[in-house]
Amino acid sequence: MTTTKIAFIGAGSVVFTQGLLTDLFAFPDLRDLHIALHDIDPERLATAEGAARHIADRAGAAPYVTVSAHADRRAALAGADFVINIVQVGMGASTRTDFDVPAAFGVRQTIGDTLGVGGIFRALRTFPLLKELGADIAELCPDAWLLNYTNPMAMNVQYLTAATGLTRVVGLCHSVYWTLRDLSALLDVPYQEVTYRAAGVNHQAWMLRFEHNGTDLYPRLDELIASDPQLRRRVRVDMYRRLGYYPTETSEHSSEYVPWYLHHDSEIERLRLPVGAYLGIVEENVALYEKARDALAAGTPLDVEATMEYAPQIIHSITTGTPRTVYGNVPNRGLIENLPASGTVEVPCLVDASGVQPTRIGALPAQCAALNRTYLSMNDLVVRAALEDDPRAVRQAAMTDPATAAALPVERIWELCDAMVRAHGDLLQPSLRATDLL
């Protein structure tokens, strides 16, 4: 039997790596795997390797799994069938910069990884790595599927396809899945019996169909919301009531992509928005990593649960020919006809032995497409800034971003971008390090 090689790029994100491996090793018909781990941090790489061996042994998969660890990315990629990208360029220090510098200008963020000033600069410091990764894949494993988890998802997938020429690229996120799990639990309906369809852009897709045994579940959701004042104190519920379609991301995320909430103290209180919440998540992730590292050193079992992420499901379907549907972020190219063709959209995708095949949706409801177009316009400017070495496009992207534009006059937006460029320094491509452009 042919060995399937799966390269993990950024494997030092140990908690995420552990969950993906737990999912992979749970498939009884997925055998003869080579897990090639790469990270630039030696300690994190060693921890990821120890965790992978531990999880394989606990799952009874050790006889069928080879684990290798590589400081050299190219060694991990050579001959890979699948590449899972989970890098975070700059790690926690850069994330704190993404929050602290905008906060000094009066810009509030909750997660800061998709749109807004945080999303822009997370993208710009990730693009150089993505360009190198794409070139390595084209040379060393040109037939591999690149499964990207790194945010900002839509910008990264658009940049990858434009800058590298790779065609087997899919961005993966769990927001659609967990939205449906949570809605099903809220309405006390078994998730396995729910029929649904969602589409839009990552972190701002829309539940277009939501049924149980052929019956529309939206009226039941409406009744529950009307009877529960606490439910109405959530951004995504507020957006649903006004737009008519439930968004597929948390209220914390959703609040950052529109101009209506974070700029207003009254809305922060009404909708219980946790400004700066992601910094706490970063600290929790560090603590979880240290716990895993220490447990491996002490020889104690790791506490790892299955994650139901899409990457293991895609690998299983392509490898075994088992058909299933997942939600993927892919170049639009007519899949959603009232969104830009060059943008990255999130749609259902059929996966089987022939690969990942996106579904054509047609047109979104006009009000949903209007918000998505603003999102994709901002993304396009960030990608163009990198592709065309245009630092002014970075400022124009921030001007286009709804939440940033609601918080600052245009002069301060340019000053904020200058401050972010200085703060991130050498992590940006040289052509984008210019400041004082007026």
Which residues belong to the active site? 174
Q: Which amino acid does the sequence have at 221?
A: L
Q: What is the 3-state secondary structure (H, E, C) of 303-348?
A: CCCCCCCHHHHHHHHHHHCCCEEEEEEEECCCCECCCCCCCEEEEE
Distance between CA atoms of residues 51 and 53, nearest Å: 5
- The string over 136-146, giving b where at least 16 C-beta atoms fall within 10 Å of a residue's C-beta and e elsewhere, is bbeebbeebbb
Residue 126, Cβ density class (10 Å: 0-12 exposed, 13-18 middle, ≥19 buried): buried
Report residue 125 CA to chain centroid gap: 16
Asked if 87 and 96 count as a contact pair (C-beta separation under 8 A), the reply is: no
The Cα-based distances of 114 to 128, 234, 235 in angstroms read 17, 19, 17
Distance CA 193, CA 196 (A): 10
Bridge partners of 84? Answer: 8, 147
Q: If you ran DSSP here, which 8-state letter would residue 365 be given?
A: P
| Number of neighbours of residue 350 by Cβ within 10 angstroms | 16
Distance, in Å, from the CA atom of 327 to the CA atom of 153, rounded to the nearest integer, reads 13
Cβ atoms of residues 358 and 335 within 8 Å? yes
Q: How many CB atoms lie within 10 A of CB 389?
A: 13
Using DSSP bridges, classify how beta strands 324-331 and 344-352 pair: parallel, antiparallel or unpaired: antiparallel
